[in-house]
Structure 1
Amino acid sequence: MLENLTKLSYQTCQQSKNYFSLGHKILSTQLQNLLYPQQQPTKRVSPEAIAKLQNRLNQLLETDWQDTQKGIYPESVLFENEWQDFFAYYPQLCLDLPQTWARITQKKYQAFSPEIDQQGYPSYYLQNFHHQTNGYLSDLSANLYDLQVEILFGGTADPMRRRILSPLKGELQKFQQQPQKQIRILDVACGTGRTLKLIRSALPKVSLFGVDLSPAYLRKANQLLSQNPDDLPQLLQANAEELPYLDNYFHAVTSVFLFHELPAAARQTVIEQCFRVTKPGGVFIICDSIQVSDSAELTEMIEGFAKTFHEPYYQDYTKDDLIDRLEKVGFRNIETQIHFLSKYLIAHKPL
């Protein structure tokens, strides 16, 4: 009985997120069209595609719930931070919208405020990804990011992130049988620290590390992760193309929602670096957007995403052969999974 009530609470919470996200999108689109009527209307998603997406969404949430029942992570994780970001940052998000719409109309995709230091970053990084004010280089962007992504995905960003936890925990069992060795996990492009926090919920005793290019996002990650001050992850500002770690150092490496924001050459270099720092017998897990080869029936929607949200490398990513890239550097036994709008690759480094 209690289990059924908890599951119903989870489903209700997810549904409320979905409805709120839909309401926000409808209202903001209407306001945008009112202020900037010259904007071309976006294509409507077909009823068939909507039905497919709803089925995938239902499967995602059921898998998320079942993983708690299997003990992959506690049920409490499903209810963390439900409306905190909404109350804290939604007013700021709304105030930022007119500035965002103006940049879209003017086709300003690399616009940064004068006080933003742009030195030392690769050119491909200096973008207003998702039309975000100051890209990934301001505290405002870092504060709004998780809420923006939750709205974009109708409250499913964390359920999609959590799909890395089951394979991650399963792959690390062989190392956990050696208690004298401390297990180390690196999250590449850790952003605001959401993935690291979720990994901690499933694997409380491992040593966690994170790298990101943005000092603002690392500040946000430290703020989020300091809620458990006894075992803080070690966070570094670094380019994933030059990971500042020894060879064969990590038992597992993860990367969530990074590769679609990299040009092809950088994508390959990051994979090479992840292979270098992964121990023989270790695992590299990627979570990123679905690709055309996975979901041909959603091709129109996939292609529209890049245009709507300014993702300059997304079109190339959606047709990229990630398995081939992983195998080129030496990863083997690569497993692929699809959950809702995300693709997962679980790649093993041979002993």
Structure 2
Amino acid sequence: MSLLGRALFTAGQASRAVWFGAQYSLAQRLAPPLDGPVPPPGSIPGWPVILKDLRALQQRDWSNVEAGYYPAPADRFAPPGKMLRNAARFLRDVPAVNLRRRLKENSETYSDAYKGKRPRYYLQNFHYQSGGWMTDDSAALYDHQVEVLFTGGADAMRRQALVPIGDWIRANGAEGKRLMDVACGTARFLFDAKRAHPDLQMAGVDLSEAYLARARRNLRRWPGSFTPVLAKAEALPFPDNGGADLITCIFLFHELPRKIRREVLAEIARVLRPGGRAVMVDSIQLGDQPPYDRLLDRFPLAFHEPYYADYIRDDLEGAAAEAGLTHVSTRRAFFARVMTFDKPL
């Protein structure tokens, strides 16, 4: 790749970090104080440590581009008008989020409209966000919210799943193969996967009709190549050994009760074709990056994440092995862990 390409990529990623980091700082200033004991001085890593780690992720992202795992991001320099509209939408929602934090209100979506139609664990205002997972407004705002949370590093963390996927495709080919993303959300990851591997067929499973509609919109440039599926991750409507050659699951497990996590892993192992690969990207856990351990313990205090404290102590690799998957690798990428598993032939 050219030096100009590297320079443009570096400039684009730096501008993202500044843009989203500024919104994160503003939202934090407006947020109510956290409950719980104040951590000892020096026990929480400061911005210099986190930004250094973010730059390491960005450098790895570019190395993957140079290695041919995926093309450079399509939105290195997003249209200014779109950036401003998204930021305004995000900031307008901050007072409502903060009110829920103060009142500990987190079950607005547990209403007569959805009771019995979605699992109880799902009908919550995760992160205290407006609409939970159920509204068009939530689907329109979600990707921006996540980028603010990770100071512009969310897409880069997701893209790390394309490395073990790319290794598998180099050995097995992409033509005639299907990638299924479980809890696909707005298809932000599938968009990058399709750019990297145009021959792959895509399926996205999610429990939100609003998010699946946004996913269809985001993948409309590839008509006929994406199948949206409204279903629970713990009850995938696919046959044994025939659902997909590749399965991804990104930032889902930390929002599931432990019992459901194991059911989801069992379903992934059931529908994945023998010889196929599953890649899970989720939050780091305790011990993955020890300087961040106190941040992980405090995260559920600021964001409604009722299963997070258990998640960061759960043995996911062991649970996947019990489900019948072979652990290949686990790598940290900023605040994410990328776990790769194969299904034996």
Normalised TM-score (structure 1):
0.90
* Runs of 5+ consecutive residues of structure 2 not aligned to the other structure: none
Q: Deviations over 1:190-241 (max 9, x none)?
A: 0001011111011110111110001110111111111x14343101110001
Kindly indicate which of the two structures has a greater share of residues assigned to helix: 1
Structure 1 residues 272 and 102: CA distance shift in structure 2, 3 A = same
53 and 95 in structure 1: CA distance in 2 versus 1, 3 angstrom threshold: closer
1:91 Cα deviation after fit: 2.0
- The question of whether the paired residues in 2 share the 8 Å contact of 1:263 and 1:313 is answered with yes
Report the AA paired with residue 59 of structure 1: A
Alpha-carbon distance in 2 for matches of 1:332, 1:28: 41
Secondary structure of the 2:6 match is helix
- Report deviation, 1:116: 5.3
| Counterpart code for 2:20 | S
1:196 partner amino acid: L
Deviation, 1:32, is 4.0
Which of 304, 312, 317 is the aligned partner of 2:306? 312
Q: Quote the Cα distance in structure 1 between the aligned partners of 2:304 and 2:191.
A: 28
Tell me if structure 1 keeps the 8 A contact 2:300–2:306: yes
- Matched to 1:79, the amino acid is R
State the match for 1:26 in structure 2. 25
With over 3 angstroms needed to count, the CA separation of the structure-2 counterparts of 1:32 and 1:342, relative to structure 1, is: closer
**1:166 aligns with one of 138, 159, 163:** 163
Work out which of the residue numbers 51, 55, 67 in structure 2 matches 1:54. Answer: 51
User: Which amino acid in structure 2 is aligned with residue 311 of structure 1?
Assistant: E
Aligned length: 343
- CA-to-aligned-CA distance 1:64-106 (integer Å, 9 cap, x gap): 1111111111225362756565233322222222211111111
* 1:72 counterpart letter in structure 2: Y
Distance 2:265 2:133 in 1: 22
Distance 1:222 1:349, change over 3 A: same
Partners of 1:330 and 1:128 in 2: CA distance: 33
Counterpart code for 1:257: F
Query: Which of 293, 318, 324 is the matching residue for 2:318?
Result: 324
* Alignment partner of 1:184 is 2:178: yes
**Which residue type is aligned with residue 294 of structure 2?**
E
Matched, 1:200 2:199: no
Q: What are structure 1's unaligned runs of at least 5 residues?
A: none
- The answer on 1:132 being equivalent to 2:129 is yes
Question: What secondary structure, in the 3-state scheme, does the structure 2 residue paired with 1:280 have?
Answer: strand
SS of 1:242's equivalent in the other structure is: coil
Question: Which residue of structure 2 lines up, in the alignment, with residue 148 of structure 1?
Answer: 145
8 Å CA contact 2:44, 2:295 repeated in 1: no
**Bigger shift: residues 154-163 or 115-124:** 115-124
Change (3 A) 1:47 1:275: closer
- Alignment-derived partner of residue 12 in structure 1: 11
Partner deviation per Cα, 1:304-326 (whole Å, 9 max, x = no partner): 11211111101100000001101
**Distance in structure 2 (CA, Å) of the matches to 1:284 and 1:145:** 25
Distance verdict in 2 for CA 1:323–1:255, change over 3 Å: same
Task: Please give the secondary structure, in 2, of the residue aligned with 1:310.
Answer: coil
The structure 2 residue matched to 1:235, chosen from 222, 228, 241, is: 228
The RMSD of aligned alpha carbons is 2.4
For residues 243 and 83 of structure 1, do their structure 2 counterparts lie closer, same or farther at Cα, with a shift above 3 Å needed?
farther
Query: For the structure 1 residues 114 and 330, does the alpha-carbon distance in structure 2 shift closer, same or farther, using more than 3 Å as the test?
Result: closer
Q: For 1:211, which of 181, 205, 215 is the aligned residue?
A: 205
The letter for the 1-side match of 2:127 is: H
Partner secondary structure for residue 136 of structure 1: coil
Q: Is the 8 A contact 2:43 2:294 kept in 1?
A: no
In the TM superposition, structure 1's runs of 4+ consecutive aligned residues that sit over 4 Å from their partners are 37-52, 80-85, 113-116
2:83 is the counterpart of 1:90 = no
Shift of 1:14: 1.7
Structure 1 residue 267, shift from structure 2 partner: 0.2
Distance in 1 between residues matched to 2:273 and 2:127, nearest whole Å = 35
**Aligned: 1:247 with 2:240:** yes
